[in-house]
Amino acid sequence: MIGLCIALDKGLRWFLNALMILLLSVMTLQIVMRYAFNDSLIWAEEISRYALVWLAFLAVGAAYRRGEIAALTLLPDALPRRAGLVLRLLARGLGAALCFTLVWQGLRYAALGGTQPIPALRFLFEDLFGAAAPAVPTVWWVYAVLPLGMALMGLAILAEAWGDLRRLLRGQQGAEVDAP
């Protein structure tokens, strides 16, 4: 199980790096086209925006797993260790519930509004292929990143909640780290 999580995390990091390279490449191309050739790529800003949205929603789960998201721990730290652990467990349960509610609502939203083709890709495909342009993906793929990102974050929160629950049931105090 741990090996699968490590492989998924590495795959996600690879995908995020590829998205960042795409974003930087498209933005650099747009800048060169605009200032060196006094022309603009009609699709570049939209593709960059979508790449940035995907980066943000996918990276939030990875950042949470690495402890890079700010947390207010004043109250759990002020309580006795066991009560603080119970409060952390409750907060994580509520956070996971919010994430999975956003997954559900995000899927509904994507289904409702995601049937039209992505305009930027339509322009890009028409520029590249002319009249023989292949079918363009729909904006469902843009909207789908919200449920995907929230599912990844919800799973990360549940993993931490599971560790808290195990510590609570074992009688361990606070945020002691379990040995792997």
Residue 62 lies in a domain: yes
Q: What is the per-residue pLDDT for 179?
A: 40
pLDDT, residue 17, reads 95
Residue at 20 is within a domain? no
Separation of alpha carbons 133 and 36, rounded Å: 28
Q: Where in the sequence is the domain holding 111, given as residue range(s)?
A: 50-170
Residue 30 within a domain? no
For the chain, give percent helix, strand, coil, nearest 5. Answer: 75, 0, 20
Q: What one-letter code names the amino acid at 129? A: F
Residue 125 lies in a domain: yes
The domain tally of the chain equals 1
Overall average pLDDT of the 6-10 stretch: 83
The span from the CA of 58 to the CA of 152, in Å, is 8
Structure pTM?
0.81
Q: What is the pLDDT of residues 51-97, one digit of tens each?
A: 999 999 999 988 888 888 887 888 888 888 888 888 999 999 999 99
At position 115, the amino acid (one-letter code) is: T
Query: Which amino acid is it at 6?
Result: I
Q: Is 138 helix (H, G, I), strand (E, B) or coil?
A: strand
Residue 174 pLDDT exceeds 80: no
The confidence score (pLDDT) of residue 128 equals: 81
Is residue 40 a part of any domain in this protein? no
Q: What digits encode the pLDDT tens for the residues 104-156?
A: 999 999 999 888 888 888 888 888 888 888 888 888 999 999 999 999 999 98
